[in-house]
């Protein structure tokens, strides 16, 4: 396996492309937007510069990594030679189903189809393809080049052979793959998201402020980042989407998103990506930006 196609040039897509290319794979990075692709390449180059400055890689290794990444706005051209396609588009079921229907029609019969979804059913995605046994989840953690974990999620029909290939490929990247079964939220988000949601509820109920909640969890639980800061980093819209998937999947009220989270997403306060969430990143001031309008 040498040729990888990554669909989606956002934060996860560029991180996945970077990681594969740095590990010697040839990567086709695909997006419908030229600007997103160019921004992605610039981000990868900047991240490689950091590695060069820390003497983790050489300038030659940086140049070689970038030379192995090609960008495409035409999905047919981008996946033409792919042994493995990894979808890293937005966490939206309809979008993912549309992409996988298209991939099923145009990919080589031997091409493995993977999704970086953090919560959506692999079995449901695989069902719209003509090769459900070759569909699998590869849930990378952000930032992809640094984080070691990859959740490998088997759908109902995913074959043993495909699972072994993806486990082995993940190890080639220097990652630690962990095989899990296909239930809403898998393992990482099934445990993480209720904690983040409960932290938001704690704020919503007036128990403590943003900095106080984060400080308790950092100092008391040895978390490197407070839960509200982490939610900002992930994206509050992504957190809401994952909680909704889990709530719909389990029909258990413990997964219902906090009203405060819902209101913040409606107001466009999405965290780091929008410049403002529980903290204000636009002014580089980590002050509590929750206002009374969100508490109504």
Question: Which of the following is catalytic: 18, 47, 91, 139?
Answer: 139
Catalytic residue among 119, 189, 197, 274: 189
To the query of whether residue 151 is one of the catalytic residues in this protein, the response is yes
Choosing from 40, 47, 116, 118, which is the catalytic residue?
Answer: 118
Tell me which residue of 117, 96, 94, 260 sits closest to 185, measured CA to CA: 117
Residue 139 bears catalytic tag: yes
**Gyration radius (Cα) of the chain, Å:** 20
Within 8 A by CB and 6+ apart from 212, the residues are: none
Q: How many CA atoms lie within 13 A of 283 on its CB side?
A: 8
Distance in angstroms (rounded) separating the CA atoms of residues 160 and 253: 35
Active site residue 189: yes
Is residue 18 annotated as part of the catalytic site, yes or no? no
Given 40, 151, 170, 258, the catalytic residue = 151
Parallel/antiparallel/unpaired status of strands 279-280 and 3-7: unpaired
List active site positions: 118, 139, 151, 189
């Amino acid at each position: 396996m040498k040729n990888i196609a990554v669909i989606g040039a956002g934060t996860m897509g560029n991180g996945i492309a970077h990681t594969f290319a740095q590990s010697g794979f040839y990567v086709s990075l695909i997006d419908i937007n030229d600007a997103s692709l160019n921004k992605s390449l610039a981000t990868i180059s900047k991240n490689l510069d950091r590695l060069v400055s820390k003497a983790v890689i050489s300038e030659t290794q940086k140049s070689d990594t970038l030379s192995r990444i090609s960008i495409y706005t035409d999905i047919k051209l981008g996946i033409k030679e792919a042994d493995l396609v990894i979808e890293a588009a937005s966490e939206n079921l309809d979008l993912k189903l549309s992409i996988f229907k298209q991939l099923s029609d145009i990919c080589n019969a031997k091409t493995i189809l993977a999704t970086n979804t953090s919560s959506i059913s692999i079995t449901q995605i695989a069902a719209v393809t003509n090769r459900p046994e070759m569909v699998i989840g590869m849930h990378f953690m952000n930032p992809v080049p640094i984080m070691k974990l990859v959740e490998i999620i088997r759908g109902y029909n995913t074959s043993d052979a495909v699972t072994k290939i993806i486990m082995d490929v993940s190890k080639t990247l220097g990652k630690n793959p962990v095989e899990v079964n296909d239930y809403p939220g898998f393992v990482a988000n099934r445990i993480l998201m209720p904690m983040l949601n409960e932290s938001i509820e704690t704020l919503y109920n007036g128990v403590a402020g943003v900095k106080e909640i984060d400080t308790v969890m950092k100092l008391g639980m040895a978390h490197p980042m407070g839960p509200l800061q982490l939610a900002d980093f992930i994206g509050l819209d992504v957190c809401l989407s994952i909680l909704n998937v889990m709530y719909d999947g389990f029909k258990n009220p413990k997964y219902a998103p906090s009203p405060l989270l819902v209101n913040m997403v409606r107001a466009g306060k999405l965290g780091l990506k929008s410049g403002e969430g529980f903290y204000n990143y636009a002014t580089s001031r980590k002050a509590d930006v929750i206002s009374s309008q969100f508490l109504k």
